[in-house]
């Protein structure tokens, strides 16, 4: 047994105690989700919902969630529509970039390691630090394989309390959220405050949206933020780990819902942060504000980002 694997096993054993502290009864979890997740519009037909669950849709595409993988209250949704600015809502960022977390003991060892690798990856690429929950901090991230709604999803930014981030483990249909570390990184970045790239106010300069190919009732998932309240310090990222893929919410797996204006570029990768993703996250948490640290994180992003 390698020292690294032994360390992970010991850490998992230690975290089991913390998981037991926050294990929620089935009805308590349901209540939390009912309070936190935006409900479906009544005009969305059941056959479309069944199609989403049973077709080959991406595991980030789930009905009842904003843009497929974002949990959001109605109040929070209204803020997003005008462009959520973190300088106006600093309490929605994790204080000092410290994120206490718990990984559910329901994951098998292989899936646990993938989640842990995603956490370690962000810790190494940025000044943000995910740390095991000490059982005392009021706000912490609870990484849990939710059953309803299933899939890969998260709140955006710090929502407060025991904040769920769902990563659906593999099943007979496929790897779901844990084929590799990429989808876990994507959802962790949501939890840190990063939105989807395609929702940028300036996105029409870079991509075309094919509304005729989007499942009726889900076109709002392709809305963009208000330009009056949105400013962008970095260029649009086709290679962003936060970008939708070509066929998200498509009525037909052969008909794209969005395509890049630039020929030959790929979108929707779920492998690692792009260079710009890395810089954006470091900038959001002030990692680039101190001259002695800015150079370090700039080099990390330029060297190790996609």
Q: Known catalytic residues? A: 187
**What DSSP string runs through 44-94?**
S-HHHHHHHHHSS--TT--TTSBTTTB---HHHHHHHHH---TTT-GGGSP
Which residue do the tokens 């979890």 mark? 29
What value, to the nearest 5°, has the Cα angle with vertex 298 and ends 294 and 206? 125
Contact, 278 vs 305, CB < 8 A?
yes
Among 110, 87, 273, 117, CA closest to 190: 273
Q: Binding site annotation covers 190?
A: yes
186 marked among binding-site residues: yes
Q: Is 210 annotated as a binding residue?
A: no
Is 160 within 8 Å of 139 (Cβ atoms)?
Answer: yes
Could you give the strand order of the β-sheet that contains 140-144, starting from the edge strand earlier in sequence?
129-132, 98-103, 140-144, 162-166, 153-154
Annotated binding site: 186, 190, 196
Annotated binding site for Zn(2+): 186, 190, 196
């Amino acid at each position: 047994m390698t020292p690294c694997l032994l360390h992970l096993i010991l850490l998992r054993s230690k975290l089991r105690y913390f998981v037991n502290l926050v294990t929620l009864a089935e009805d308590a979890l349901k209540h939390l989700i009912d309070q936190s997740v935006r409900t479906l519009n009544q005009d969305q037909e059941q056959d479309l919902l069944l199609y989403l669950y049973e077709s080959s849709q991406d595991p980030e595409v789930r009905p009842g969630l904003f843009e497929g993988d974002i949990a959001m209250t109605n109040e929070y949704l209204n803020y997003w529509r005008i462009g959520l600015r973190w300088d106006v809502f600093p309490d929605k960022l994790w204080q000092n970039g410290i994120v206490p977390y718990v990984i559910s003991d329901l994951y098998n060892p292989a899936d646990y390691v993938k989640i842990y690798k995603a956490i370690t990856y962000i810790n190494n690429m940025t000044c943000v630090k995910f740390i095991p929950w000490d059982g005392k901090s009021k706000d912490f991230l609870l990484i849990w394989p939710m059953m309803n709604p299933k899939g890969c999803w998260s709140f955006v930014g710090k929502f407060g309390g025991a904040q769920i981030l769902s990563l659906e483990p593999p099943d007979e249909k496929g790897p779901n959220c844990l084929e590799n570390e990429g989808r876990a990184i994507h959802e962790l970045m949501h939890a840190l405050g990063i939105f989807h790239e395609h929702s940028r106010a300036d996105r029409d300069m870079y991509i075309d949206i094919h509304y005729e190919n989007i499942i009726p009732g889900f076109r709002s998932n392709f809305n963009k933020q208000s330009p009056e309240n949105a400013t962008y310090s970095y260029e649009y990222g086709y290679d962003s780990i936060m970008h939708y893929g070509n066929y998200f919410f498509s009525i037909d797996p052969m008909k794209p819902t969005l395509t890049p204006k630039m020929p030959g570029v790929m979108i929707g990768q779920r492998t690692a942060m792009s260079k710009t993703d890395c810089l954006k996250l470091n900038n959001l948490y002030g990692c680039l504000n101190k001259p002695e640290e800015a150079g370090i994180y700039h080099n990390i992003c330029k060297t190790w980002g996609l």
